[in-house]
Every structure is written in structure tokens, then in C-alpha cells.
Amino acid sequence: MTESLQSYIGGRWRDASGPEYTTEYPHDGSTVARLHAATAADVDEAVLAAEQARRQPAWAGLRHHERAGILYRVAQGIRERAEALAQLQRLDNGKPIKECRALVTSAAGTFQFFGAAAETWEDTVTPSRGDYLSLSVHEPLGVVGAITPWNSPIASEAQKLAPALAAGCAVVFKPAEITPRMAIELAKICQQAGVPDGIVSVLPGKGSVVGDALVKHPLIKRIAFTGGTTVGLGIQRLAAEKLMPTSLELGGKSPTIVMPDADLDHAVAGVLYGIFSSSGESCIAGSRAFVHVSLYDEFKRRLLDGVKRLRVGDPASEDTQMGPLVNLGHRASIERYVQLGRDEGGTVLCGGERPRGGFYDAGSYYLPTVFEGLPNSARMCQEEIFGPVLALLPWQDEADLIAQCNDNMFGLASGIWTRDFKNAWRIGRALQTGTVWVNTYKLFSISTPFSGVKMSGYGQEKGRLGILEYTSQKSFYIGLNEQPMPWALS
Ligand code: NAD
């Protein structure tokens, strides 16, 4: 059934002003939603309403514990609708239902966490060096723009909305054009939780129209962006024009290292999960596996065995491990990369094609694919594919291994499989990535900061200090001297 969706603009649910478009279920290509794309005029309306709303006592006058109360109610609202939200997210981007449930749970936890962070936030009395009292306080930045991709909507949206609201900002949201539903549902839950009208707006539509207008709007004081590196660079350039802070959570090409002493069962399971969960449509996908030569053949045998057992199928099924890719266009881009890998001299050990027959033919399915025989310098090993494609790379010398891992423009995440924690510490410190996982992969906690380095971006999401990204710091000096300032009297 096709549902009609509306945008939420300045506290009003209505059709946006741009052309109508539809979104499709990746499993079978059926139309799931119909909505109008937003325009620059809609952005302007939302931002002006947000600027007005954020100054009202109903928002600006809230004490920390009162704002926290609203965030707790949002968390509760998400939990009450958890199953429905998970099913909607599945229809939006075709993720297996179990993954969708986990993302919904994490989104509720994010609001809970930032509610607690808001409630317990303390400004600082700094050590005085004279006859004065000095303080460092934090104030909301104002209206912020949030722009998100399609791969894990409810989680990435919560990671922006929750700290922004906790800090006292207003948020104008631009979800990915093809996955608008989670931001819309979150806005409804915020409204029911008592977030005043105008504080949250949601404007689905094209990045080049809505995203661009948001970034350029003079009243937008910050952009929180998650998406590709090329778009992130464009946002950075525009932001420089008005000296606007941004956080850019961008792409990755994460290396996973298997050391000679690794527990192979753990390493194989971890590498499989690292690249093939979410069909590889994950910024932190472990897409380059560097395996020590001493166990390369055995690792490869077990890995390919594991791939054969992966259940690629209907995202609605409780059994499915890998669903379809987000759409046919994205699958075509992955197919081009696989052809490129072949052209560059790589050997496809498994996959390298679509599954065929039955429902597979209607959806945007692709088989888990493993390459070997490519050097790290190959484009296949350098560029983000954002799909279920793994490159196996044997290594022998540790210094060369580290150089190869770091020889990539991205620096998002990495994994190390070893029984020796001295290895893990030494190598982990040498890797140029924002996150290092040791004997685990894709593990996340809302209380631990997340950010990339190099072309994977910058700016902290998650972690208690994630709130600071949405504030400006103000210093206060309160003079305590009983006498006039001596300089003027001398
Ligand atoms: P994308 O960069 O194409 O789009 C991301 C968002 O930006 C979308 O909402 C899009 O409409 C918008 N956008 C596009 N052009 C814009 C413009 N000119 N101005 C403003 N906004 C614009 O990325 P995608 O294909 O949706 O998502 C995949 C990418 O996201 C991958 O590179 C992946 O690694 C990255 N990602 C990063 C993280 C992270 O935390 N580092 C997490 C998830 C995804």
C-alpha cells in the first residue's frame, strides 16, 4: 500500500512545494510512499519559524531538567512504537528486520542518553588568578541543519536530533530523498513529546536543492552532515563562506587485520559481519581484510565457507542476514566496481553477480563478493564501494602492513584480530582511523565518541561531549574588587 507523506514545516504538516515523487521498497520495487519534494522556499519558511520558536520562553526558557524530560518522552515514544518504526525503516531501505529493530532501539537509547546529558550538564567555574570569578558557560548555537544519508536513517537522525535538542537548538532536517520516513516519524514523536512547534522541521527532497539551501541559509548556524565525502567537501566550502561550524561524518574504506596469532573462528566471523552485515552499505564496513600469509589459505577457506552459508533474502524474514541493496541504481554502481576489480586483475572468489530466480529478480539483490589478487593500490581497494564487496590482501611484514592500511584517503575505522593485546595496542595506535576495534567489529555505544579522520571527516557524534558540538562557549569574568581599576587612577 502506498502511503502519502507530508513534510513538517515550521510546526505545520503539509505538502512541500516541489514536485511529487515516490519511494520504493528495495525488496520488490513496489511503491511505498508518495510525497512532495521540498524547495528552497520551504527551507526558508522552516528556518524562519525555527529561529522564532527557539527564542520563545517555551523552548529558550526551559531548564535543563525540563528539556531532559522532553527527550526522555521522545525515547519513550520511540519504544512504544518500536515495532512499527522498524517495519517502516525496512520498507524505506530494505534492511533486514532484525537490524531495523536494533537501530530503533539504539535511537531510543540516544534520546535517553542525551536527555541524561542535558539534565546533568555542568558549566564550569574556572580557577581564578585574581580578584574575580571566572566561568565558562555553553549556549545553544541557534538553528542547525541536519543532513543524513539513506543507510541507517533512524539511528543517524537520532544522533543529530537528540544532542541538538538537548543543547537547546532548533533543527531543520533534510533526510535522504529516498528514505524520508524515519525523520518524519521522529518529528511526530517529538511533537507528541512536547517539543514546541517550529523547533523541529523535516524537509525531504533533493540534496542539491534542499540540502544546498539549508547550508547557505544565513540563519543556519551549524550543519551536522553524514554522507559521502564529495558532498561533504562541497558543504565545507560553502560553510567557510559564513564561518559556520560543521560536523562531517563521511565515507570509509576500513582495513581489518588478521594477525598470525588470531583466533580464526572469531576472525572469520568478525570479518564476515564487518563487511556483509547491512549488505556492506555501511560507512564502517571492513572492506579490506589484511590476513597474515601464515594463515591466509586457511582463513580464505573458512571465510568462503561462511559466505556460502549467509542467508541473502527477504528483509521481512527473521532469518535474513543480507537484504537487497537500497535500489537498482546503487546495485549498478556496485556492479561497475566489481567489473573494475576484474579489469584491474582481481579474481572473484565468490559472488560477483546477482542472485537469480523468484523474488530476487524483482529486487535490487547482489551476492556477497570476495576478491583476491588485487594490490592495495587498486581502485577497488582505494575507493568506497558501499556494498557487499571484500578484498582479501595477504601481508607479511608489520611495517608494510601498517603503511598499506594507512595508504588510503579515508580514516574511519579499523579492526585487529589477535590474542596478544600488545599487538593490538601497538598497531591500533599506528592506524590512522577514528575507531579501532580489537577482537570485535561494528560495536557501538552511545556513550563513546564517534568521528573520522582524514577524508572520513571530523566532529564528534555520540559521547556526552557530543552536546558541545551544538553550543557556543561563552566566558564570564565577574570582578570582585572593592576598588576602581587602578590603571585609570594612576
Ligand atoms: P550522499 O552524500 O549522496 O547524501 C547524503 C545526504 O546529503 C543526503 O540527504 C543527500 O540528499 C544530501 N546531499 C546531496 N547533495 C547535497 C548538496 N549539494 N548539499 C547538501 N546536501 C546534499 O550520501 P549517501 O549516498 O546518501 O550515503 C552514503 C554515504 O554516506 C557513504 O559515503 C557513507 O560512507 C556515508 N556515511 C557515513 C557515515 C559516518 O558516520 N561516517 C555513516 C553513514 C553513511
Q: Say yes or no: 15 and 156 in one domain.
A: yes
Q: Say yes or no: 177 and 299 in one domain.
A: no
pLDDT at 445: 96
Q: Say yes or no: 319 and 275 in one domain.
A: yes
Q: What are the CA-CA distances from residue 245 to residues 139, 219, 225, 241, 257 (Å)? A: 15, 13, 11, 11, 35
Flag whether 213 is in a domain: yes
- Is the Cα torsion angle 182, 456, 411, 280 positive or negative in sign? positive
User: Considering 169, 190, 283, 381, which one is annotated as catalytic?
Assistant: 283
Ligand 1 neighbourhood includes 384 CB (under 6 angstroms): yes
pLDDT at 443: 96
Q: Say yes or no: 201 and 268 in one domain.
A: no
Return averaged pLDDT per consecutive 10 residues of the chain, 490 residues in all: 95 98 98 98 98 98 98 98 98 97 98 98 96 98 98 97 98 98 98 98 98 98 98 98 98 98 98 98 98 98 98 98 98 98 98 97 98 98 98 98 98 98 97 98 97 97 96 98 90
Ligand 1 neighbourhood includes 147 CB (under 6 angstroms): yes
- 115 C-alpha vs ligand 1 centroid, how far in Å? 27
| Residue whose cell numbers read 533474502 | 313
Q: Which residues contact 317 (CB under 8 A, 6 or more apart)?
A: 96, 97
Which atom belonging to ligand 1 lies closest to the Cα atom of 452? 41
Q: Say yes or no: 358 and 467 in one domain.
A: no
pLDDT at 490: 79
Flag whether 444 is in a domain: no
Ligand 1 neighbourhood includes 148 CB (under 6 angstroms): yes
Flag whether 329 is in a domain: yes
Ligand 1 neighbourhood includes 215 CB (under 6 angstroms): yes
Which atom belonging to ligand 1 lies closest to the Cα atom of 238? 19
Q: Which residues contact 424 (CB under 8 A, 6 or more apart)?
A: 416, 418, 436, 438, 439
Q: Say yes or no: 152 and 57 in one domain.
A: yes
Ligand 1 neighbourhood includes 205 CB (under 6 angstroms): no
Q: Say yes or no: 338 and 220 in one domain.
A: no
Nearest CA to ligand 1 atom 15: 207
Q: Say yes or no: 47 and 162 in one domain.
A: yes
pLDDT at 211: 98
Flag whether 67 is in a domain: yes
Flag whether 489 is in a domain: no
Specify the 3-state DSSP secondary structure of 143: strand
Nearest residue to 225 via CA among 216, 217, 235: 235
pLDDT at 159: 98
pLDDT at 99: 97
For the chain, what is the domain count? Answer: 2
Length in residues, the chain:
490
Residue 350 appears among annotated catalytic residues: no
Nearest CA to ligand 1 atom 20: 211
C-alpha 486 chain-centroid distance: 55
C-alpha 201 chain-centroid distance: 19
Which atom belonging to ligand 1 lies closest to the Cα atom of 177? 11
Strands (E), 227-314: 246-249, 255-258, 288-292
Q: Say yes or no: 315 and 219 in one domain.
A: no
Do residues 181 and 89 make contact, with C-beta atoms less than 8 angstroms apart?
yes
Query: In this structure, what CATH number is given to the domain that contains residue 327?
Result: 3.40.309.10
pLDDT at 454: 98
Q: Say yes or no: 394 and 291 in one domain.
A: yes
pLDDT at 1: 80
Ligand 1 neighbourhood includes 212 CB (under 6 angstroms): yes
Do residues 393 and 288 make contact, with C-beta atoms less than 8 angstroms apart?
yes
- 185 C-alpha vs ligand 1 centroid, how far in Å? 20
Query: In this structure, what CATH number is given to the domain that contains residue 75?
Result: 3.40.605.10
Nearest CA to ligand 1 atom 9: 176
Do residues 74 and 193 make contact, with C-beta atoms less than 8 angstroms apart?
yes
Check residue 467 and report its DSSP letter: G
Host H or E run for residue 225: strand 220-226
- 402 C-alpha vs ligand 1 centroid, how far in Å? 29
Flag whether 216 is in a domain: yes
Cell of 449: 565518541
Ligand 1 neighbourhood includes 151 CB (under 6 angstroms): yes
Ligand 1 neighbourhood includes 281 CB (under 6 angstroms): no
Q: Say yes or no: 412 and 281 in one domain.
A: yes
Angle made by CA atoms 165, 169, 175, in degrees to the nearest 5:
70
Which residues span the domain enclosing 303? 255-438
pLDDT at 489: 86
Flag whether 9 is in a domain: yes
Residue 283 appears among annotated catalytic residues: yes
Flag whether 443 is in a domain: no
Q: Say yes or no: 463 and 401 in one domain.
A: no
